[in-house]
Amino acid sequence: MTRVLIVAPVGSDMHAPIEERIARAAVAADTEVVVRHLDGVPDSIYVSPEEVFVPPLIEAVRQGERDGFDAIGISCCSDPALAECRAAVSVPVCAPFDAVTAAAAETGERVGVLYLVVEPAPGESELRGEDWIPQLLDDYGRAETVVTALPVHAARPRLQADDPDATPEEIGAALVASMSAAIEGAGIEQARLAEAAGAQVLFPTCTYWAGTLEAVRAAVRVPVLDPIAALAASLERAAAAHRRGSAPRH
């Protein structure tokens, strides 16, 4: 049996049941899927700056290897600390953007990327899609795989992370609802624009969009990838290749 671990770089497991459900549907019935969040970071669904979450993320990946997982995934589409995590363990480590663009490089498909834009509050990551997408494409040597990258703006939820009257679960649910409204609203128009620009597959690059993409799929003719499903499938492939000794890392 293959065992895969998905690590979310946040301090809340509020989104874990959704990610587990989608990941399990994307792999073989006898593949075990576990989703974990980080210790040592704020109890929030919002992502902290990298200097806060990267050390606990690397430790969580190391713990995953100690716990016997065959492959470990990072549940964030900006692929944070992917190289550092790979260097820390001997099992394959995968992340969504690397997995999707590597597959596109092999098939020749051109990807249309949709990326989230939501204004960060103090203490949250300020990483922006217009920065990390071209940087990763340059790092991976895959600029030719992406035909366009378009923003999807989400409103900042009314409930904020520092609201003393709201629970972390309520704050997280408000954020996911805002993101879902964005991808099901403005995201549809951006998806159509990406398809018109020549995209043969669409990749919405936020794991909180997992499970919310049916409206987008109904609006275009090209496949729309779920980021968690894509990650889970890449983990299963990487684990199998690692056992064979051929070990692609995506």
Domain ranges of the chain: 3-244
Strand partners, 111: 146, 201
Q: Which amino acid is at 141?
A: G
pLDDT band at 161 (very low <50, low <70, confident <90, very high): low
pTM over 0.75: yes
Q: Is the dihedral of CA 128, 134, 137, 139 positive or negative?
A: negative
Confidence of residue 160 (pLDDT cuts 50, 70, 90): low
Q: ∠ CA(73), CA(205), CA(161), 5° rounding?
A: 85
Mean pLDDT of 62-78: 98
Give Cα 86 distance to the centre of its chain. Answer: 17
Identify how many contiguous H helices and E strands the chain contains and give both numbers: 9, 7
Asked if residue 89 has pLDDT above 70, the reply is: yes
Q: Which residues contact 110 (CB under 8 A, 6 or more apart)?
A: 104, 145, 146, 147, 198, 199, 200, 201
Query: What's CA 99's distance to the chain center, in Å?
Result: 10
**Mean pLDDT, the chain, integer:** 93
Q: What residues are paired with 115 via a beta bridge?
A: 151
pLDDT given for residue 250 in this prediction: 53
Residue 52: per-residue pLDDT: 95
% pLDDT > 70, the chain: 96
Tokens of 33: 């899927």
Q: What is the pLDDT of residue 248?
A: 55
Check whether 44 has a pLDDT greater than 70. Answer: yes
Using pLDDT thresholds of 50, 70 and 90, give the confidence band for residue 60: very high
CATH of domain 3-244: 3.40.50.12500
| pLDDT at 79 (0 to 100) | 98
The percent of residues in the chain predicted with pLDDT above 90, rounded, is: 80
pLDDT at 167: 79
Contacting residues for 238 by C-beta, under 8 A, at least 6 apart: 71, 92, 94, 247, 248, 249, 250
Closest CA to 100 of 131, 137, 134, 63: 137
What letter does residue 150 receive in the DSSP assignment?
E
- Return the number of other C-beta atoms located less than 10 Å from residue 188's C-beta: 18
Average pLDDT over residues 194-215: 97
Q: Is 200 exposed, middle or buried (0-12, 13-18, 19+ CB in 10 A)?
A: middle
Residue 247 clears pLDDT 60, i.e. is over it: no
pLDDT in tens, 16-26: 999 999 999 99
Q: Which of 53-57, 103-107, 175-179, 229-233 has the lowest mean pLDDT?
A: 175-179
Identify the residue with better confidence: 122 or 58: 58
